[in-house]
Every structure is written in C-alpha cells, then in structure tokens.
Amino acid sequence: MAKPFSSLCEPHLFDGKPAIKTYKDILDTNIMLVVASMSAAGIAESHHLGIVPFGDGNCTIKHTSLHQIATIIEHYFSGHQIETQITCSNGRLNIALQQTYNNEILEWVEIIFEKE
C-alpha cells in the first residue's frame, strides 16, 4: 500500500475560514505550502523532504525518526543555495520560510534528516 507523499496545506480557505488540516498530526503551518516526501516513505517517516512555500511564515513538521539534526537547503531560482542545520526538538522540526533573500526568489526548500 502506498503512503502519502505530498500534501497541499492551506491555513485558510479563500473565504477566510480556517481550512481543514488533513495532516494536522504531521504538519502545522500558517501559510499555504506543498510538502512532499522525496523517498518512498510518508512525510512523517521520510529522511528527505521538499517544501514549496507560497508566502512568508512558519511550518512545523512532526517527524517519527530519532534524528536530531536536519539540514535545510534553500534553493533559489538564480541557482544560489543556502544550507543550514536545525536541531529537531521532541520529534518536531520548526522552519521559518521566506519567499525572498537578498532580492532572490525562493524556489523550494530541501530537508535532509541526518543519520546519527
């Protein structure tokens, strides 16, 4: 049986009412975004995720693995990349997302959970 590999998350519907969060146990966000597993595992189990944000905001991903460190790679349309590492806390990864950095537009964000 295939596991879910992506989700479009919207904090609000077009009429301003809160959206139903299908993956509320896995994702919490205040912006519209797409999260995809880049492996055969589901979003909560995957060691490799991709995010396409549609605005500035925050995203928390609940991850079931025991990994404590995640490498975040921001991919920009110019080809520029920024790599940082974030510590996971209690199985959760909190990410601040911004559409632009130094006048460059963010294309997508890659998350790699480091093996320990």
Length of the chain: 116
- Cα–Cα dist 19/38, whole Å: 25
Q: Which tokens in the block code for residue 103?
A: 């006048």
The residues near 33 (Cβ < 8 Å, ≥ 6 apart) are 8, 9, 51, 52, 53, 54, 59, 97
User: Domain boundaries in the chain?
Assistant: 6-113
Phi-psi region for residue 94, left (φ > 0), alpha (ψ -120 to 50) or beta? beta
The whole-model pTM stands at 0.81
Instruction: Return the closest-CA partner of residue 108 out of 21, 11, 35.
Output: 35
- Mind listing the pLDDT tens digit for each residue in 81-98? 999 999 988 888 999 999
Q: Which of 38, 25, 45, 14 is nearest to 108 (CA)?
A: 38
The CATH topology of domain 6-113 is Immunoglobulin-like (2.60.40)
- pLDDT tens across 2-48, in order? 444 444 454 544 455 555 555 667 888 888 888 888 988 888 888 99
